[in-house]
Amino acid sequence: MLGVIGGSGFYSFFGSDARSVTVDTPYGAPAAPITVGAVGAHEVAFLPRHGVDHEYSPHTVPYRANMWALRVLGVRRIFAPCAVGSLTPALGPGAMVVPDQLVDRTRGRADTYFDSGGIHVAFADPYCPSLRAAATNLPGVVDGGTMVVVQGPRFSTRAESRWFANQGFTLVNMTGYPEAVLARELEMCYAAIALVTDLDAGIDSGTAVRTVDVFAEFQRNLVPFKKLVHEAIDQTTVERTCTHCLAHDGVRLPFELP
């Protein structure tokens, strides 16, 4: 089964023929019931990370419950659409980017399942190369970029966004971590697909980022963005062949993965 985790403004993926599944986890309930439907030859589970009515801010999303619930259902590969700000004028609103690197600037988030045992997880390349290839082979998709994940819920100051840009980061987001590392700990393939909604404050000196503008831009691009996710799923092999994301080969874990 494939998984899709919808970001801000991306709260549904199927029609009325999808079935809804409620999953409990050791980390509480996920952000919303999971809907399961078909995309071509694939069975797909969809979960809106912020809840169906955007009840969860980025720092309060139940990330561990979300990822655990998808794993319990049989999901082993995840596409993660998300809204991002751009840290370079070369990527304006409406650009669709598949990042290849991540920088964590969050704090205090529960970002591991291994609160006991001396477990270390390889994370040098945080995104699944197979899933990335399925998305980046599509027309108009920008291949690569570094996404810095900030704590939120506030947007960056101009000085912060200029600092991020000077470091060579290209995208800024609030939810890409710890989702990616939790997927790796559960040995699930994971790739982010980012929709640029704005130039960050330090890049566009004349304006400041506002929530209403971000959501409006996302809605303007929602139909082609969903189409891109569908096409990426269609490009994905039925059988999982990736070994890059099997992080625990040869390691004895303190508990069995679901």
Which residues are annotated as catalytic? 198, 200
Does residue 24 have a known ligand-binding role?
A: no
Does residue 53 have a known ligand-binding role?
A: no
Return d(Cα 184, Cα 234) in angstroms, integer.
23
Q: For residue 201, what pLDDT is reported?
A: 79
Peptide linkage before 258 cis (omega within 30 of 0): no
Model confidence pLDDT, tens digit, residues 127-169: 999 999 999 999 999 999 999 999 999 999 999 999 999 999 9
Angle between helices 129-136 and 211-234 (to 10 degrees): 100
Model confidence pLDDT, tens digit, residues 92-134: 999 999 999 999 999 999 999 999 888 999 999 999 999 999 9
71's tokens: 């794993």
**For residue 197, what are the contacts with CB-CB under 8 A and spacing of at least 6?**
83, 84, 85, 93, 213, 214, 217, 218, 221
Residue with tokens 């080969």, as numbered in its chain: 249
Containing 162, the helix (H) or strand (E) segment is helix 158-166
Greater pLDDT, 80 or 221: 80
Q: For residue 205, what pLDDT is reported?
A: 61
What average pLDDT does the chain have? 93
Does residue 188 have a known ligand-binding role?
A: no
**Dihedral (CA of 40, 54, 245, 151) sign:** positive
The answer to whether 173 and 148 are in contact (CB under 8 A) is yes
Does residue 104 have a known ligand-binding role?
A: no
Q: For residue 203, what pLDDT is reported?
A: 77
Does residue 174 have a known ligand-binding role?
A: yes
Q: For residue 176, what pLDDT is reported?
A: 97
Greater pLDDT, 211 or 112: 112
Q: For residue 210, what pLDDT is reported?
A: 76
SS3 assignment for 217-232: HHHHHHHHHHHHHHHH
Model confidence pLDDT, tens digit, residues 39-68: 999 999 999 999 999 999 999 999 999 999
* Residue whose C-alpha is closest to residue 175's, from 57, 95, 53, 257: 57
* Rounded average pLDDT over 68-91: 96
* Rounded average pLDDT over 8-16: 83
User: What percent of the chain has a predicted confidence (pLDDT) above 70?
Assistant: 98
Q: For residue 206, what pLDDT is reported?
A: 59
Greater pLDDT, 224 or 216: 224
